């Protein structure tokens, strides 16, 4: 579905009255959390993907203005703490500085022309039963919203479960488009906090196969956003802590069978891992914003390639 650019008024994140009720597929994927899409013209309801979930198509300003570049910010592992007292248990995580660091990051991304910000989880750092945790989620939401840049944020293993998380933050659709990019989000991966591991459910794997089985004519790049690592395999902190998904091999097999040009974005591994291509799929593991030198990224699509820059908040 083409979306023209002109005088159409755009509905912003948080204005839930402008958007339809989520489909059954989305409610099943992410519990009963509130559903608020990113951006779409009020005169155009979302389309429908192969799973029955919504596809949000942002206005194709690039086609209208003859600009081939899409700019997307990427940040992960904030481990933010403000309302909750004390410091993060890990002294490397400068959780109480993250509010200032995030505002600085967002200002830079805004000045650089970012059209979207992707946040890959582990957004807060405090006991999940602390009643003040919700205030920190609200604060994060307000900082991201105030930047004026549309954003997607997913939970990590340090965050509340999706149902509670998305009572405060806007829940993204599974897939949406920006220019010649399609972004596919995974907000519903299963985190086992006792076993300190994560996996992707069978139903979501089947949904991935359907989404990635063909290439829409207007899409050059497909960007996947999740918290845990898909590749490369990482050494674990002892036998009870994993950085990779338990079924990462099964997930990679789906990606490698796709005809699409795919970039996978992950967090969780605080030291990160540089961009690497394996069996035709590109993988980037972002470094944690909460740890020196407080890094974040900007992605630029340029025809058939994506350039990635890392910036530091120091």
Higher pLDDT among residues 224 and 46, named by residue? 224
- In a domain, residue 4? The reply is no
Query: How far is the CA of 50 from the CAs of 88, 100, 174, 190, in angstroms?
Result: 42, 41, 11, 22
Average pLDDT over residues 49-66: 43
- Kindly state whether residue 16 falls inside one of the protein's structural domains: no
Mean pLDDT of the chain: 82
Residue 146 above 60 pLDDT? yes
Residue 193 domain boundaries: 25-37+45-312
Higher pLDDT, 215 or 45: 215
Burial class (CB in 10 A: 0-12, 13-18, 19+), 205: middle
Is the residue at 235 inside a domain? yes
Within-domain flag for 117? yes
User: Which residue in 151, 204, 176, 162 sits closest to 54, CA to CA?
Assistant: 176
3-7, 12-16, 223-227: least confident range = 3-7
In a domain, 111, yes or no: yes
Per the listing, tokens 């999740």 go with 226
Is residue 221 situated within a structural domain? yes
Task: Report, as an integer, the average pLDDT of 61-69.
Answer: 55
Which helix (H) or strand (E) covers residue 108, if one does? helix 98-111
> Cα(294)–Cα(179) distance, rounded to whole angstroms?
29
The residue-averaged pLDDT of 169-181 equals 95
| Burial environment of residue 12 by CB neighbours within 10 A (0 to 12, 13 to 18, 19 or more) | middle
- Rounded Cα distance, 233 and 239, in Å: 14
Confidence (pLDDT) at 179:
92
**Domain of 231: which CATH number?**
3.60.21.10
Q: Is the peptide bond before 21 cis (omega within 30 degrees of 0)?
A: no
Domain count for the chain, please give it. Answer: 1
Question: What span, in angstroms and rounded, lies between the C-alpha atoms of 154 and 160?
Answer: 11
Note whether residue 19 is domain-resident. Answer: no
- Measured CA distances, 208 to 32, 217, 255 (Å): 21, 18, 8
**Cis peptide upstream of residue 293 (ω within 30 degrees of 0):** yes
Whether 182 has a pLDDT exceeding 50, the answer reads yes
For the segment 94-131, what is each residue's pLDDT rounded down to a tens digit?
999 999 999 999 999 999 999 999 999 999 999 999 99
> Over pLDDT 90: what percentage of the chain?
71
Q: What is the pLDDT of residue 236?
A: 67
Residue 54 clears pLDDT 50, i.e. is over it: no
Q: Integer distance in angstroms from the first to the last C-alpha of the chain?
A: 43
Q: At residue 151, does pLDDT exceed 60?
A: yes
Q: Provide mean pLDDT across the span 60-67.
A: 50
Is residue 103, in this structure, part of any structural domain at all? yes
Region 244-256 average pLDDT:
97
| 26-39 pLDDT per residue, tens | 333 333 233 333 43
Residue 198 tokens, joined: 């994560």
Q: What letters, b where the CB count within 10 A reaches 16 and e where it falls short, cover 59-97? A: bbebbeeeeeebbbbbbbbbbbbbbbeeebeeeebbbbe
């Amino acid at each position: 579905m083409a979306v023209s650019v002109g005088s159409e008024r755009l509905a912003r994140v948080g204005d839930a009255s402008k958007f339809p009720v989520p489909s059954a597929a989305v409610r099943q994927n992410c519990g009963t959390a509130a559903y608020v899409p990113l951006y779409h013209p009020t005169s155009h309801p979302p389309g429908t993907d192969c799973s029955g979930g919504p596809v949000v198509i942002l206005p194709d300003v690039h086609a209208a203005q003859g600009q081939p570049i899409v700019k997307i910010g990427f940040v992960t592992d904030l481990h933010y703490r403000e309302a909750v007292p004390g410091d993060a248990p890990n002294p490397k995580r400068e959780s109480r500085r993250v509010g200032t660091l995030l505002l600085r990051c967002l200002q830079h991304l805004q000045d650089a022309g970012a059209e979207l910000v992707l946040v890959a989880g582990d957004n807060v750092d405090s006991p999940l039963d602390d009643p003040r945790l919700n205030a920190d989620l609200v604060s994060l939401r307000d900082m991201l919203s105030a930047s004026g840049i549309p954003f997607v944020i997913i939970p990590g293993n340090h965050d509340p479960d999706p149902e509670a998380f998305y009572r405060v933050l806007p829940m993204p659709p599974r897939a949406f488009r920006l220019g010649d990019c399609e972004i596919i989000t995974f907000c519903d991966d299963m985190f086992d906090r006792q076993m300190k591991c994560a996996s992707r459910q069978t139903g979501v794997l089947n949904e991935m196969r359907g989404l990635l089985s063909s290439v829409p004519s207007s899409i050059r790049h497909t960007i996947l956003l999740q918290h845990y690592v898909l590749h490369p395999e990482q050494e674990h902190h002892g036998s009870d802590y994993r950085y990779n998904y338990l079924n990462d091999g099964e997930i990679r097999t789906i990606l490698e069978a796709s005809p699409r040009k795919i970039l996978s974005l992950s967090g969780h591994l605080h030291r990160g891992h540089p961009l690497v291509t394996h069996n035709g799929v590109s993988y980037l593991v972002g470094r944690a914003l909460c740890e020196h030198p407080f890094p974040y990224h900007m992605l630029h699509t340029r025809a058939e390639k994506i350039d990635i820059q890392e910036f530091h908040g120091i």
